[in-house]
Structure 1
Amino acid sequence: MLTKLKSLQKHSGFMRYFKNTSWLLGEKILRMVVGLFVGIWVARYLGPEQFGLFSYAQSFVGLFAAIATLGLDGIVIRELVKDESRRDELIGTAFWLKLMGAFAVLLILAIAVNFTSNDHATNIIVFIVAGATVFQAFNVVDFYFQSKVLSKYIVYANVISLFFSSVVKIALILNEAPLVAFAWVVLFDSFVLALGYIYFYIRNRHCERSEAIQQTTVIASKAKQSILSLTFNKSIAVGLLKDSWPLILSGIVVSIYMKIDQVMIMQMLDTNAVGQYAAAVRISEAWYFIPMVVASSLFPAIINAKKQSEELYYTRLQRLYDLMVWMAIAIALPMTFLSDWIVNLLYGGQYHEAGSVLMIHIWAGVFVFLGVASGKWFVSENLQILAFWRTFSGMAMNVILNFILIPKYGVNGAAVATLISYSVAGFLFDYFNAKTRKVFFMKLDTINLRRLL
């Protein structure tokens, strides 16, 4: 084992990807800890009603945010890896497409708010939050660094943004700022992050040019390049959109799936109910980074096993499912019994309804963990279209159940709707297709204690 570890340390390719993954993992953990701490402080300060209104505004914008991304992320990274010589045109074209997508979101929101019961103050907060999508166009720089396996620069930018965001939020709390100030912080976060992306992109490009000059001893006569020199190429834009339209559709479905519950609670109940629900969900979903990190780390070994034999491939996949389920149960069990105490400790007595929501919602994590792991399998088996339909089925189930359960059971009904819809998408859907039925029984087998013993 020690010999193998030493050989891996000497393997430049492995260490490059290991360091890149470590940077991303470290940033996610830091963001979770700091974000949860500051987020809870903000929730305590605002109280259920104002926090509910703030959460509703973010969820309402989130319903349409996928339009701004245009599903370009993975497509652009793929093209950058294939042909780096087209870098400036690819990044420039993606930037302008995303910027157009952001303004499309603002236009759609201007129409959509007319079909809600929002008052003028609520709509102002919605549009301030939505303004952040404009600056998110600058995350095309992230594509460049991902293609170069240099995610540390993106981590730098994110940590800087997180620091300033946290300081500003704490200052607002200490100075007893109004709710609208916290909406402006969302916009400020995106602006600072965009500045960070621009800085590290220009800095890295300058270093690349310096290295090229040292290696070739030739001084280029080109004008100094910057983020502003990135150009739009119509043919590249058409090609990117042809490849990304299924991902745009998937992104919209996922956005509705993840955000619709708080929007429906607002329309059917009130802001206080949204605040109670959002407080519980913040704790429940804080764990969702774990399956993403574990699946990303272990799935390459599962893919390699397929080259050796199908039996080894599915044996390792079964172990991944086992690990996912029992990690989720290990989180859900104590949270179930301690939910009221945890909510009271973190949020105070004003969020008295959040404990029962957390007790139900935390069990959705079992199916989220399974869904993330099986999602990798869908990609491995080239079954992306089925992956879309399973997400769509979960979204449809969530909307239908929210309509039925929220009027009868309030925020607890929304939590039950989430739990059932996640179980449909992450587990039951696989039974109804011959190509995925084997995976359904593998997931079912994870709770076979006799097999594990």
Structure 2
Amino acid sequence: MKTTFQNKLSSVSLDDSKDGAPPNRSKSGLSKILKNSGWMAAEQVIRLIAGLFVGIWIARHLGPNSYGSLSLALALATIVGIFATLGLNRTVVRELTLHANEENFGKRIVASVLAWRLLFSFICYAVTVGISLGFGQGDPLLVGIVAASIAFTSFDVIDHYFQSKTASRYSAIARSINFFLFLCTKLGLLLSGADVVYFAIATSLEAMGNAVALCFAFRTYGIRPGIKDIDMRYGWSMIMHSWPELFAGFACLIFMRIDQIMLGNMIGDAAVGEYAVASRLAEAWYFIPGALVTSSFPAIVRQRTQDSVLYLKRLHQLMLVMVGISYLVAAVVTLLAPWVISTLFGEAYTSSAAILIVLIWSGLFVSLGTASGSWIMAEGKPMLNLTRNVAGALANIAFNFYLIPLYGPLGAAIGTLGSLSIAYFFSDFLNPRTRHIGILKLKALLLIWK
């Protein structure tokens, strides 16, 4: 017997003339998507410019060993912490979009998902610390401090609510205020010559500040879910529908972050520091495809129910734009990588230049994977995302075992590029259900408009 929530999940009706926003906030069409993308992109640009400056200073201040220890702790907490998301990120946005006019239903989703995420975040914290202590992964003190941020990221469900309403300016403003507050805190730590432990504490406190800021933005928007809105059965029903997305996210993090853990075990913290510097720069621009896809996702969901041909055409155009940006970024960074690394980070990180050149080309496949991920979720086929990410994770681990002993951190970068191409491009041609998406990606890589 289906619950009310499960019945809602199976419903696909939508009135596209409304976006579910509160009265007098409704704007329609492309202009709203672009404005929403603009707010998200503006937030990320601010974070990129200011955060990159401070991040470079922190890397220089701590040196490859201490910076590598902090990066290793962050990587471990991120990989385990993915289970606290329960794979619900895009599922929440999709369901809130499909039932945009049911405000009470939206509050119930937010409250229920938040309750489940908080519960799992405490479990994830214990597991992360246990792995560090029991298996000697990273500095246990740094891991214990950084892993505390897992619980606070549970409140990102509020940001998903704003995405479904195409109203990301609320969360963008809240996050930016918190970001600058802790940016000043980190500057103070740098000027005082603080130890790596204090930067780990600042990381967790910043995550807590984000949670507080998002809650305040939610109340400002006029939505105030309470304990009475929590229904654990509702949350569990969503988890049962999205578990493939959870393991897909875990597999994705494995082949995006396992490099640092394997480098730490096979070579040492200094190698992790060299790789982390290049990885930070290579991923700095990922907010662009992320903002474009996140803002367009509600519209993609709506368009699928109206015009299947236009739906795929718009998806292909999105891929073309993202691939074009990827080529431009990769070409510029390839030419400037040695100068950028030596100028920004100093001679201690000279070997990071070659790593950066390899990693920056991974952006092509990250962009394609992000765009096709929207298609997968709009179609309600999360198992496709799971299988491609598992394939990428297994490929990356295999590449690392072979390439790291031969080439060190550069080998890990080559492995990442190869595994991303397998997961987000070549795997599409092996599955009849995704072959047409693979063809769209091939045309995008060749910059073919039709």
**Shift of the alpha carbon at 1:285?**
0.8
> How far did residue 156 of structure 1 move?
2.0
1:222-267 alpha-carbon deviations (Å, 9 max, x no partner) = xxxx676455323223323222322222222222222111111111
Q: Of 261, 264, 285, which aligns to 1:266? A: 264
Pair 1:165 & 2:182 matched: yes
The one of 204, 211, 215 aligned to 1:198:
215
**What's the counterpart of residue 31 of structure 1?**
47
What is the match of residue 375 of structure 1?
A: 373
Aligned partners of 1:59 and 1:263 also within 8 Å: yes
Aligned with 2:284: secondary structure? Answer: helix
- The answer to whether the 8 A contact 1:56-1:274 is kept is yes
Contact kept? 1:257, 1:395, Cα under 8 Å:
yes
What is the CA–CA distance in structure 2 between the aligned matches of 1:381 and 1:361, rounded to whole Å? 31
Match of 1:247 in 2: 245
Query: 1:52 is matched with which residue?
Result: 68
Aligned positions of 1:89-128 closer than 5 A: 89-118=108-137, 122-128=139-145
Give the aligned partner of residue 215 of structure 1: none
| Distance in 1 of aligned mates of 2:232 and 2:215 | 23
Mapping 1:60-99, distance limit 5 Å: 60-80=76-96, 82=99, 83-99=102-118
Shift of 1:406: 0.8
Report how many residues are paired: 421
- CA spacing shift, 1:179–1:385, aligned 2, 3 Å: same
Q: Which residue of 1 aligns with 2:279?
A: 281
Q: C-alpha offsets along residues 389-417 of structure 1, whole Å, 9 cap, x if unaligned? A: 11111111001111111112100100010
- In the alignment, the residues of structure 1 paired with residue 388 and residue 135 of structure 2 have an alpha-carbon distance, to the nearest angstrom, of 29
Question: Quick check: 1:303–1:313 contact (8 Å CA) kept in 2?
Answer: no
Matches for 1:32-431 after TM superposition, within 5 Å: 32-80=48-96, 82=99, 83-118=102-137, 122-205=139-222, 229=227, 232-295=230-293, 310=309, 317-431=315-429
TM-score by length of 2: 0.84
Q: Do residues 13 (structure 1) and 28 (structure 2) align?
A: yes
| Aligned residue type for 1:136 | T
Q: Which amino acid aligns with 1:46?
A: L
Superposition CA RMSD, Å: 2.9
Q: Which moved more, 1:396-405 or 1:328-337?
A: 328-337
Tell me which moved more, 169-178 or 366-375: 366-375
Residue 7 (structure 2) aligns with: none
The alignment-based identity, stated in percent, is 33
- CA 1:115/1:316 → structure 2, altered by over 3 Å: closer, same or farther? same
Contact 1:136/1:194, CA 8 A, preserved across alignment: yes
Which whole-Å CA distance do the structure 2 matches of 1:76 and 1:193 have between them?
19
Whole-Å separation in 2 of the counterparts to 1:297 and 1:123: 38
Which runs of no fewer than 5 residues in structure 2 stay unpaired? Answer: 1-24
Structure 1: unaligned runs, 5 residues or longer: 1-9, 209-225
Relative distance call for 1:175 and 1:230 in structure 2 (3 A) is farther
Structure 2 letter corresponding to 1:187 = S
| Deviation at residue 40 of structure 1 after TM alignment | 1.1
CA change 1:337–1:73 in 2 (3 A) is: closer
Closer/same/farther in 2, CA of residues 307 and 90 from structure 1, 3 Å limit:
closer
Q: Is the radius of gyration larger for structure 1 or structure 2?
A: 1
Partner SS, residue 287 of structure 1: coil
Q: Residue type matched to 2:324 in 1?
A: W
